[in-house]
Amino acid sequence: MLTIHPEKIYISSANVDMRKSIDGLSAIVEQNFKLNQFSNAMFVFHNRHCDKIKIPYWDKDGFCLLYKRIEHGKFRFLRGITADKYTVTRKNFRGFCTA
């Protein structure tokens, strides 16, 4: 059963190769972000064109990988962030995910 009620939502400030799988994205979470990949958090990764996102999410008994590709427009993420990642609220995240 998939339930998504994350306590935090982290967005990568860097572009990510969309060929990465759960293991590759989880490695970024652990090594670059210094965060626990098994926490109740969503980790959002986007490509260079900001038209694709991947979100690995731990669902208490296994990983889910959410993927979305929009056909027209782009996801609107913050620019000029110097940190590896930043956090947003669920409400703000919905705003990023509208084309």
* Per-residue pLDDT, 86: 87
* Per-residue pLDDT, 5: 82
* Per-residue pLDDT, 98: 59
Low-confidence ranges of the chain (pLDDT < 50): none
Q: What is the pTM of this model?
A: 0.87
* Per-residue pLDDT, 3: 66
Question: Which pairs count as long-range contacts for 78-87, CB under 8 Å and 24+ apart, including other chains?
Answer: 78/11, 78/13, 81/13, 82/13, 83/13, 84/12, 84/13, 84/14, 84/32, 84/33, 85/10, 85/11, 85/12, 85/13, 85/33, 85/43, 86/10, 86/11, 86/13, 87/8, 87/9, 87/10, 87/11
* Tally of residues, the chain: 99
* Per-residue pLDDT, 1: 57
